[in-house]
Every structure is written in C-alpha cells, then in structure tokens.
Amino acid sequence: MTNSFGEFGQAKMFFVIGSNMTEAHPVAATFVKNAVEKGASLIVADPRRHKLAAFADIHLGLAVGSDIALLNGLMHVLIKEELYDKSFVENHTEDFQKLRTLVEKYPPERAGAISGIEPELIVETARRLARVKPVMICYTLGITEHTCGRNNVVSVANLQMLLGNMGVACGGVNPLRGQNNVQGACDMGALPNVYPGYQAVTDPKAREKFQAFWGVDSLPQEIGLMIPEMMEGLEEKKVRAFYIFGENLANTEPDIAKVEKELAAAEFLICQDIFFNETTRFADVVFPAAAWSENDGTFTNSERRVSRVRTASLPPGEARPNWWIFREIARRFGQEWEFASAREIWDNEISVLAPNLGGIKYGRIEGDGLQWPCPSTDHPGTGFLHNGGAFARGKGQFLPVDWTPPAEVPDADYPFVLSTGRRLYHYHTRTQTGRCEGLNDLLSEETADISPRDAARMSIADGEYIRVSSRRGKVTVRARVTEEVPEGLVWMAFHFRENNANWLANPAFDPVTLTAEYKACAVNIEKQVCECQGN
C-alpha cells in the first residue's frame, strides 16, 4: 500500500475494485464503513454485490476480467471532459500523450460493452471521482489474479496519477495484501530477482555487497525461477530438489490434478510445516516447524508496518523455529551462521542490509510497529509514499494498456464463468482454521454461489448438490443461491479439499508476474440427480 490503514477513517472517498474486503480483510473494511458513515463516498467495482457494496454510492457490477476496459473508460471521460488533475500530470508524470492516445479508444460505449456497465454510469463515476480529492483506491486479488493482472495494477496506478491522488494522505494505490506476511516475504527477498530490500540480483554492486556481508566467494547472477516455472521444472526434471516451506501447493495452485502430477514427479521433496497436509503426501522428508506464537519474530503488514510477533507457547515435540532449521542445513554445507535468534537476525543482518529497513530495530517496535521506508534509527517511519508527487524514479510514468479477455471464456460446453476467492470463516486450505474450535461450525463445507436467475432456470434449489466442471476437473458441491452473484457467474473458494475450486481453476498465468488466473475460467454446472456427494 502506498498509504496507511490509519488514513481510512479520515478519507473522503474510496474506490474499491476487486476486493471483498468485509470477508478477506474484515478489520480494514470496518474503517471504510466508519468513513462512509461519517459521509465519505464509496464506489465499489466488483462482479459480485458483496457486503461492502451495500455501503456504496455506486456499485459497478463489471464482467469478470473487464477491469482495464472500465478503467480506460473512466480515464477516457476524465480526459475528454478535462476533469483530470492537469497540474499533477504536468509536474509529476510523463507519457501522458501515450495514455491519451490509448484511452481514446475506450469511449464509455465501448468500455460499457466490454464491462457490462451502462455508459452513463461510467461517465457518472468518472465525474464523481474527479469531484472529490483525494480518492483512495483499494484493491485486492480481484485485480492481480488475472492473465492481465500486471496490466490491471498498472491501470489502477494510471487512474490515480491522472486524478492526482498520489503522494497525499488518504489517497494512493492500496493493494490489501492477502497474507499476514506476504509483504514481508517480498521485503526479505524471497523472490527470484531481488535480495532483501529489493536490491537486484543482477546488479553487480548489490551482489558484491551481499557476497561480502555473507562472507561467501560467489553469488548466483541469473534471475531464478518463479513458482509455476519450478513446478513445471519438476516434470521436466530441470528441478530435481524442491523445498516447500509452509505452503500447501497441492490445494492452493490452479488445476490440482496437474499440480499433483508435478509434485509426484519431484525427485527429492522437502516439506517444512506445522501439519501434514495434501502436499506433504509427496514429501521425502518433512521438518516439524514452530508455528505462530511459538517463536519471536516480525511480520510486515500491507501498509509496510513491521510489527512484533511474540512467543506465547512452546512448540510441540521436536518442532523448531524455521530460521534454526535453515541455519542447521547451512552448517552441513560448511557455513556457520553467527546469529541465533530472530532478533539477532533482524537487528544485525536484515536491517543492516535493507536500506529501507535500516532504522527499524526490535528495541523500537515494542509497541506499535514502524512503517518502511525507515532509513535511520531517528526516522519515524513513512505513512504514505511519494510525498508531494515525488516518485522513486522521478516522474510517475503512465503505462497505457489495452484490455485483454481472460485466457478462457465461456462457450457452449462451459457457459459459466468461475471466479474464486476466500470466505470469512476460513483461511486458505484450512490447515489452521479447520483446527480451531467453532470455525468449522460457522462454515462446514464449500458451496458454489450462483444467481437466483440461473438457479431458477436450472431448477436448482438453495443447498442442493450440483456438479461444477471445467476442462480440468469436476466437483460436487452444494449450491448457494444468492443475490450477491450475477447471472452467468459461479463463485467458489478453496478452503475444502474435496470440492476445492482449484480442481477447476485455469493454470493460465500473467506473462510478467506468472500469477494464475484464479479469478476467471469457464465452467458448466449441472443439477445432480441424486444427492450423493463425491466426484
């Protein structure tokens, strides 16, 4: 996030796109709702009329995967009616002409035809966005989990720069991160192209720096593989040893049948986890890990805030902190790593190596955490980025992008769109929430959410078992008939193994980020003749 949760309560206007905040980030949603109650405007763009839409002035029920068309349409109106922030565009951005030329191709009529939104509503939305300043844009995986995910993100940034909503409190581009420490894992360089603090592995200077600090004679120069490439590498035998730390890939990746074939092909599979799960079935060795609250450490949230995690309980049996396990493996390769606690590792290595984290030390984050960039120990941390329109690269660059449809669209055989995500009462593959008293009682099985019109047309009753099939698999699941879902859409989550949406999801990836298109594939639904469960 460029901005902070603390600004939500004072924000004047929100544009929430591709984010089912009340279920996926419930506490963040409470601050949005508080602001709306105090008079802030809210525009929600989402194929589903989810709970936050009830608080919105406008709900744009766009077609799945049509975000760029909608955003380009909004920018078309802003430019045509000269409602954009001319001063910001002139002083703080470049390539505006390129953007103008591209969005010229997206008049409201065309944007509306692609997205299914009335052209008048697109015009009205653009005018409202221009009327209030600043506007905060929040998005989640509804933007990124598409074959055009990277372009979706770029479009959101284009819109905010055009509106001049960057570099100010209560504005900005705010992706709500899906997992507690996905921001931190990125910051730590658990990425194939960067070291901790986003220093490129291809930069000789950065390589030298880390080489010297780690006391090694060489570091690899080539950018490594991303997860889908690793998985494919297993079958091709290009990747022979695969080390999975705290991920249940057999349930979380699209096209489970394909994923399991890949995992089965691994020559040597190491899993490090707190529970045996669908992925450890393929492992050659499993290390028992300490869980949350069983060792000290830090998490970094969506707003770049590094906060403490503390020990409450001892890990069971022989389970050990993960950093200890990695250290022990390094020792067996002849490297003795000096530091022997999370605090030592943070204070003496991470914060020394990553310039943006330089001022964050355990002693400073006993209470509230600090938000990076925090370059020195007298720096208070940074609530919002690009202050006054000063971007890291100098001027903000418009990167105009065309709309592209999802990789798989409905046809005669698979006439419905399947979109997937999370529900409130569970988290991912339920390895954790499925073992918490009470949460299974609040949600005990998966459903396929369908619209009342589709249900009526197909004589499907609420709670009735239906079969949902795609080119990759089929599941039997209860139908949940709900007004949240528009006609033609099926919506499912991936919390339960037997009818996990990932049996159906399409392993088509964004060409740049290799993020899978979890949000769009084509499925068919059929009424089950008997109420027996099972595939």
Residues between 189 and 208 with contacts to other proteins, criterion CB under 8 A: 189-193, 195-196, 201
CB 387, min distance to other proteins, A? 19
Q: Of 148, 125, 124, 123, nearest to 67 (Cα)?
A: 148
Q: Residue 289's beta-bridge partner residues?
A: 320
- Closer residue to other proteins, CB minimum distance, 14 or 414: 14
End-to-end CA distance of the chain: 41
- Closer residue to other proteins, CB minimum distance, 41 or 431: 431
CB 302, min distance to other proteins, A? 4
Residue 368: exposure state from Cβ atoms within 10 A (0-12, 13-18, ≥19): exposed
CB of 270 closer than 8 Å to CB of 243 = yes
Block residue for tokens 């300043």: 133
- According to DSSP H, which parts of 384-463 are helical? 439-442, 452-457
Q: Of 16, 187, 164, nearest to 93 (Cα)?
A: 164
Q: Which stretch binds other proteins (CB under 8 A): 102-110, 144-152, 157-165, 462-470?
A: 144-152
Q: How many positions of this chain bind other proteins (CB under 8 A)?
A: 147
Q: Which residues of 470-494 are buried (b: 16+ CB within 10 A; e: fewer)?
A: bebbbbbbbbbbbebbbebbbbbbb
Instruction: Enumerate residues 382-421 that contact other proteins by CB under 8 A.
Output: none
- Rounded distance between C-alpha atoms, residue 330 and residue 326, angstroms: 6
* Cβ within 8 Å of residue 204, ≥6 positions away: none
- Closer residue to other proteins, CB minimum distance, 262 or 454: 262
Q: How many CA atoms lie within 13 A of 476 on its CB side?
A: 11
Instruction: Enumerate residues 480-519 that contact other proteins by CB under 8 A.
Output: 510, 513-516, 518
CB 256, min distance to other proteins, A? 15
Q: Of 275, 192, 196, 175, nearest to 229 (Cα)?
A: 192
- Closer residue to other proteins, CB minimum distance, 311 or 528: 311
Instruction: Enumerate residues 145-164 that contact other proteins by CB under 8 A.
Output: 145, 149
- Rounded distance between C-alpha atoms, residue 237 and residue 234, angstroms: 5
Block residue for tokens 């052209």: 119
307-346 footprint of other proteins as x/- string (CB under 8 A): xxxxxxxx-xxxxxxxx-xxxxxx-xx-x-x----x--xx
Instruction: Enumerate residues 429-458 that contact other proteins by CB under 8 A.
Output: 431-439, 441-442
- Closer residue to other proteins, CB minimum distance, 59 or 207: 207
CB 444, min distance to other proteins, A? 11
Instruction: Enumerate residues 10-69 that contact other proteins by CB under 8 A.
Output: 22, 24-28, 30, 33-34, 37, 55
Instruction: Enumerate residues 350-369 that contact other proteins by CB under 8 A.
Output: 350, 367-369
Instruction: Enumerate residues 216-245 that contact other proteins by CB under 8 A.
Output: 216, 218-220, 222-227, 230, 233, 238-245
- Closer residue to other proteins, CB minimum distance, 252 or 524: 252
- Closer residue to other proteins, CB minimum distance, 121 or 186: 186
* Residue 169 touching other proteins (CB under 8 A): no
Instruction: Enumerate residues 251-310 that contact other proteins by CB under 8 A.
Output: 252, 267-268, 270, 273-276, 283-289, 291-295, 297-303, 305-310
CB of 279 closer than 8 Å to CB of 248 = yes
Instruction: Enumerate residues 102-141 that contact other proteins by CB under 8 A.
Output: 141
CB of 528 closer than 8 Å to CB of 468 = no
